[in-house]
Each structure stands twice: as C-alpha cells, then as structure tokens.
Chain A
Amino acid sequence: MRIEARSHHPRGLILFAPVVAILAALAVSGALIALTGVSVMEAYAQILAGALGTRLAVTETLTRATPLILTGLAAAVAFRARLWNIGGEGQFFIGAIAVAAVGAELTAGLPAALAIPVLLVVGAAGGMVLMVTALGLRLRFNVDEVVTTLLLNFVAILFVSMMIEGPLRDPMAFGWPQSVPVADNAALPRLIERTRLHAGLLIAVLLAVAVYLLQARTVFGMRSRAAGHNARAAGFAGVPLARTLVMVACLSGGLAGLAGAVQVLGVRGYVTTDLSPGFGYAGIVIAMLANLNPLGVIAAAVFAAVMFIGADGMSRAVGIPSYIADVTVALSLLTMLVALFFTQYRIRR
C-alpha cells in the first residue's frame, strides 16, 4: 500500500470534504450518545430544535456564531500564511478587557457613531499586541509560536482576572469579579428587537468578505499566501517575509481581539473570565473546517454555533452532557484533516 499525490485536486471534492467530515464527526458522537442508552435521533433532533427550532433560537445561534466567525477568520488568515496562531483565546480576552478599560469612561461622552468604531479598534489593537509579541519571539529568538501563543492564553486570562479584581473591578457587582461596564452609548445596536442578535454579526460577515477580497485580490493577500506555501520561493521572488508575517499577525490578532470587543459591546457589556467558552480554540476548528476560506468560515461558524446552542437545550431535555457539542466540534477538526488529505492524495495498493 502506498500513498500517492493526486495530480488534480477536484474542486467538488474539496467542497465536499467538510460535509463528509461533519457527518463522520456526528456519527462518532452519535455512538457516544448511544452508549448512554439515549436515542441518537432524539438527541440530534433536540439539538436542531434547540438551535434552529424557533425564531429566538435562530437569533441565539447567530449571536453565538458572531464571535466564532471572527476567531475563525483570525485562525484562517494566520494559518494561510503558515503562522500558527493558537492564541485566539488570549487575544479575545485582551481585546475584551481593552474595550472595558477604555469604554467605561473615556469614550462615555462620545456619540455612538464615534464610540463604537473607536472601541472596536481598541479591541483589535489589544489582540494585535499579544499576537505580534508571539511573532516577535519567533522572529527574534526562533521560538515556535504555537507554544508561545498557547502559553500566552493563560497569561492573558490571568491578566484579565487581575484587572477585574483590581483596577477595573465593578464596585456595583456585589463582590463578583467582573469589570466595570462599558457605557451604554457604545452598545452595538440590536438587529432584531427583543433578541440578543446585534450588529456584530454584520461586522463579522462584512469582515469575512473583506478578508476574502484581501486574500484573493491584493498584493498583500498574494504575498501572504506565497509566504505560507513556500517561504523560500516567496523570498526569492522578493516577498518581504518578516513584514508580511507582521501584517498577518496584526490581522489575525486584530480579528481575535475584535471578537472579544464585539462580544462585550454586543452581548455582555462587561468582562468576566467566563466571557468566552473557548471561542478562540473553536476558531481553529472553524478555520480548518472552512479549509481556510474566509467565506467558508461563516458557514463553519454557524455549524459550531448550532452544536453549542442546540446542545444546551438537548442536555436539558434528554440528560446528555452538553459537552457532546465540544466533542463533536473537536472531532470534526480531526475528520476534516483526514477528508482534506483524501482531496490531495489517494491510497494505492
């Protein structure tokens, strides 16, 4: 038996891969559900109903998908340039806490049209700083950014914890560790009344399109892809590798930081250490499921959101731990890797 590279990479096969991957992940999760004696069909029906069954459920799912699109984009742009940003989680938190720090008072007097963009930029900048730090360590000391971004996730969350128990503590929170709230003027407008769905979704979708165009149509996009696929050849063709990587790091860290900002401005209004149930890590899965395509990220993020939101309702209804959603999403990363492999290679005897 030997593994042989395909000379052609059929488009259909590549589009088909995530579907196969998700079905395979659902099958394995189904087995895990079946082991408990609960009907798999029943459980999955509950997940679908919980996530998409009512208008409110749909808006909740889309609300959950919003930060996931952004963290998914953050991972996708970095991975495309072979920059292994695994620090989306930490960048998310730094973006969020930066927004709380600035948005509580500094921008409180500004009109919304000014306060919101300023705070979004602040959040993005927070994420950028963290990612550029990790890249700096790679460029200067040759330290693998996978490990540094992972470790910085813990540092970032502890930093947030320090802030919300220290200088940014909300004195009105009855001793709960949470940050001062962002002033109301900067709350993202609701898209639908009496739901939590907010304008962050539009921002995320527009950014996905923007990133797509950036990658497909611009000099920067072409260079970052070139650098990612073959840094040596890109260097030969005059691509400024360090500068391109710094720009990619800014974009990636910025998107993750923005996810934190959007979550604060659109949903919570303040920061706690449980602001993210692993948005940063889920972003990695979403980017891979999308095969690093920015538009695909939207669909992949919706899939993950359906699982997460649906699993909560399913858990209450049939008593399966909602962690099954995390299991399915994590599995879909592994199955997607295998599916992608078979778009590139075939096995011959």
Chain B
Amino acid sequence: MTETVLRLSGISKRFGPVIANEAISLELRRGELLALLGENGAGKTTLMSILFGHYTADEGEIEVAGRPLPPGRPRAAIDAGIGMVHQHFSLADNLTVLENVMTGTEPPWRLRANRSAARRKLLAIAERFGLRVDPGRRVGDLSVGEQQRVEILKALYNDARVLILDEPTAVLTEQEAERLYATLRMMAREGLSLIFISHKLREVMAAADRIVVLRGGRSVAERLPADTSRSELAELMVGRRIARPVREAASPGAPVIAAHGVSVRHREGTDLEGIDFTVRAGETLGIVGVAGNGQTALARLASGLLAPEAGTLTILGRRVRQPDVAALVRAGVGRIPEDRNREGVIGELALWENAVLERIETERFSRRGIVDRGAARRFTQEIIDRFDVRGGGPDHRTSLLSGGNMQKLILGRSLIDGPSLLIAAQPTRGLDEGAIAAIHTRLLAARAEGAAVLLISEDLDEVIALADRVQAIAGGRLSPSIDGAAADARRLGLMMAGDWSAAGAAVADAD
C-alpha cells in the first residue's frame, strides 16, 4: 500500500514581493492521512489552493496518480479525483443539501437535472461513510457540524480519492472533532488519501500518519508522530523558541462587571440565555467555547453594543439598560473586537481617526463638534510609540498595517488610558507566535495594573495560559466557573460540549 497518488514537485508562488510558497515538494500515498502543519501565513492554504486550481503556481508541477494535472482549473482537479473541504464552507445557505452537492456535476446544457439519481448516489455515499444528512434540507438550517458533513459529501460525490481539509476542526467541539478524525481514519482505511491542514499540535500528533511542517512558505521538516514531540513540532513551526509569558497569582478586588441571569437577543447569531458571570479588578475571566456558541453576543454585550433583554448587567457600578458605547469608553472600558478587519478598524481611514473614533465626542478630541486633530495625532503617536505599532504614522491609511500591527493599534487605544475593564474577544486569532506572545504580555500587564479582563477565546491554550478562572460557553449558556489552575484541555473540552457536570465544574464563584 505505498502507491503514490499525489506528487507536488518544486511548487513556488509569489504574490508581488511576498513569497507564499518556495520549492515545496510533497508526496501523498494511498490510504495515508497526512498533516500539513504551519502557522498562519506559512503557505499551507496557498499550496492547497494551487493544488485545487484556485491559483496557478509560478513554478513546479503536480501529478495525480502519475499523470500531470493542468494548472489553474478547479474542474480539472475535481476530475482528477481531488476534493477540497474549505475552512470557510463553500456552501449556499439558501439551496438544499442535494442542490449544493449536485452543482457543477452534470453537463450544463442538459435539459433536465437528474435529481433522483443524484439523491440515490448521495444517500449511498452517506451510508457508506456514516455521514448522515437529509438531502432535502436547506443548508442554512443545518448545524455547523452537519454543514461540514455536506462539504465532505460534496467531495466524495465527485468521486474524490484525495481529500484536502483546511483547518477542519476550527469550528467543531472537541467531541465533534474526535468523531471527524475517526471518520477520516475510516476513509483512509477505505483507500482514500487525505491531507489536513492544521496549526493545532495536539490534533496533528493524535490523528496524522505523517506530518509535514511548513514555515515561511517552505517545507522545513517531515516527521512521523512516533518520532517527534509537541515541543519539537512547535519549534519547527515557529522557527525559534518563543516563550509565552507566564501568569502570576492574581489578587482580585471588587467586582467590575457582573451579569446575573442576563439574556440577549442577537439577530445575527446565537442568543444568550440567562448567563451569570463576574469579573473582579485584577483578575482575568476566560470564556472558552467553540465558534458560534454565543461568543459574539457576549462580546457585543460587554462592549456596549447590545443590552440585556432580561437579567441585570452591571459595569463599573452602573446598571446597563441601553447599548451605549460612548458611556462605556468614557467610564474606562477598553474593548478589543472579535474581528479586527471588519470591526476593529476602518481601513480607509487614517490611523489617528481609528485611534480616536470611539472617544471622538469627549472634550479631549473635539470641541463643539469640531475635531481637535492635533490632540488626536499626539494621542495616536503616543500609541504608536508605546505599543510599537509599525507600518505608518498617524496620517497613514490604516489598511497599510499588517494584522499584528492593527491589533497593536487596537490594543493600544484600549489600554493606553489604563482601563478598569478590558473586553478581549479573540485577541490573537490569526496572529503568529511572536505577536501572540507580545499581546499576552500586554494582557497580563493590564491585569497586574488592576484591570478586570474578560477574555473570550476559542484557543484553549490561550485561556489556560491567561485566565484565573474559566467558564465555558455552549449554546448561548455559560457554565459555572472553574479555577484556572484546574483547567486542562480535556476538562475544558467537556465543558465546551455543554457537559458541565461531567467536567466536575464546581461553582467557584462566591457571588
């Protein structure tokens, strides 16, 4: 069983001055489960996009089952038996499961689509791999896990023999992820060959037959799980040893933000139902959860964009009844939004405008409706200096900054005045190790200076490293809190799945 089904040789791809892939060679054998490990920006997704024909490589060749694959044509990749499951699902919410699967599989000029045959084929595949779905349901009504099943079925329906999964567990619970890997191993036994892209060391070690590490667009190492360790992989992935800062014991003060039985209706996502939590001065409360379980609503609630429908929310001694961003900012609440590019900054505006927009109505930055640009520029320059924002001065367009520097700008404007409360929603999502370490240092420093920190994160390691107490969010509800010292991946996994009693979560919150 060592037949090579896929061979990439010498793949290089540049975007302008940026080298995304450089001379990457890779082989995939029949029945193999290969992990492609690397940080964001290591070139994993670019490489797979080239394989699937979304991009054309500048150099290099791809062979599938010994035959060269014509570049730049997704249809050719599909016909050669390559299937791709994207991290952001490529599904149409308004169409049914069957329609999503069928698109593009028949000659377009046929006068009538053969639905019944397609339905039979889909059900047969679903049966064979244990991926049960209802072909007639609208995809938008399915859960995230079910949608991922549809993605996989789509590839299998096209008779894929090589399946590529891009960060397949990003949106799954631990349990769902385990089930997924079991399915993938079963597929491998059935003779399929699989590549999954990940940056999660734990998963890669547990699931893969072989691990290829990418860094800076190059393939830097190849290991078998038995011959390596998580720490070696981490070092290979990052290229140097980066020590994340270590949390010291907290000395919590008075409650700064407290929610009792708060429910929130959130039009674009999961609602919150009767949640309780308290964060005190000088402590960090970590909220873990799988994406889409109400984190967005929680972050928006604490950031002053939503108000409770029921229950009481008290921030800095004042009860919150109406969404009022300006009042929160004035009272000393720093806010790091979930989605940097879409919520945190406005790329078309200058740095100084983004730095002061949330406090533009304070006397410090405007008088009688006229903006004090001098004060705003000085404020921005101070942020740039103190938080090491690189890539532009106060008057530059914010879109010129890199993701990490945008995050530093946001962090800077939230922390520079020494906030009493810091809301940090997914503060390091998509950043590389160096930037993550820097931001963790800042968050710990803010807590040491007495800020209450509400950390909402999907990254277990981040929560374990930073939080004094941890609560899990699942289906819009919050678990009781457990001590940060007692939080480990297994226990948090159970909590995130909503299995609070099994996790043995004690009510540690004295309130």
- Interface residues of chain A, those whose CB is within 8 Å of chain B, are 4, 7-9, 217-220, 222-223, 225-226, 229-230, 232-239, 348
Whole-angstrom distance between the alpha carbons of A225 and B360 in the complex?
Answer: 14
Q: Is the CB of B342 within 8 A of A232?
A: yes
Shortest beta-carbon distance, B59 to chain A, in Å? 15
Q: What would be 25 A-B contacts, judged by CB atoms less than 8 Å apart?
A: A4-B15, A9-B397, A217-B371, A218-B366, A218-B369, A219-B360, A219-B369, A222-B353, A222-B357, A222-B371, A225-B348, A225-B349, A226-B357, A229-B346, A229-B348, A229-B349, A230-B342, A233-B342, A233-B345, A234-B346, A234-B357, A238-B304, A238-B326, A238-B329, A239-B357
Q: Which residues of B contact A (CB under 8 A)?
A: 15-16, 303-305, 324-326, 329, 335, 337, 342-349, 353, 357-358, 360-361, 366, 369-371, 373, 397, 400
Q: CA–CA, A238 to B344, complex, Å? A: 12
Given contacts A219-B361, A222-B371, A233-B345, contact A7 B353 (CB under 8 A): no
Most buried by B among A222, A223, A225, A235: A222
Given contacts A217-B371, A236-B305, contact A229 B358 (CB under 8 A): no
**Distance of B480 from chain A, by nearest CB (Å):** 30
In the bound complex, do residue B343 and residue A232 qualify as a contact, i.e. CB atoms below 8 Å apart? yes
**Least Cβ–Cβ distance between A293 and chain B, in angstroms:** 14
Q: How many A-B residue pairs have CB under 8 A?
A: 70
From the candidates A220, A229, A230, A232, name the one contacting B369 in the complex (CB within 8 A): A220
Q: Do residues A233 and B344 form an inter-chain contact, with CB atoms below 8 A?
A: yes
* A220 neighbours in B (Cβ, 8 Å): 369
Bound-state CA distance A4–B353 (Å) is 26
Q: In the complex, what distance in Å separates the CA atom of A64 from the CA atom of B144?
A: 59
CA distance A284 to B360 in the complex (A): 31
Contact: B325 with A237, CB < 8 Å?
yes
Greatest chain B CB density within 10 A among A7, A8, A233, A236 is at A236
Residues of B within 8 A of A222 (CB): 353, 357, 360, 371
Min CB–CB distance A340 → chain B (angstroms): 13
Min CB distance, B123 to chain A, in Å?
A: 39
Q: Of all chain B residues, which has the CB nearest A220?
A: B369
Residues of A within 8 A of B324 (CB): 238
Q: From A4, A8, A218, give the contact of B370 (CB < 8 A).
A: A218
| Residues of chain A within 8 A of B15, CB atoms compared | 4
Given B16, B305, B347, B361, which contacts A235 in the complex, CB threshold below 8 Å?
Answer: B305
Query: Which of B347, B358, B371, B400 touches A237 (beta carbons < 8 Å)?
Result: B358
**A7 and B304 contacting across the interface, CB-CB below 8 Å:** no
Instruction: Give the Cβ gap from B355 to chain A, nearest Cβ, in Å.
Output: 10
Chain A residue numbers with a CB within 8 Å of B304 are: 238
CA distance A230 to B16 in the complex (A): 27
Which chain A residues lie closer than 8 Å to B349 at the CB level? 225-226, 229
- Whether A219 touches B366, Cβ cut-off 8 Å, given contacts A8-B400, A226-B357, A237-B358, is yes
The answer on a CB contact under 8 Å between A236 and B337 is yes
Question: Among the interface residues A9, A225, A226, A237, which one has the most CB atoms of the partner chain B within 10 A?
Answer: A237
Task: Contact check, B303 vs A236: say whether CB atoms are below 8 A apart.
Answer: yes
Nearest CB on A from B12, distance (A): 16
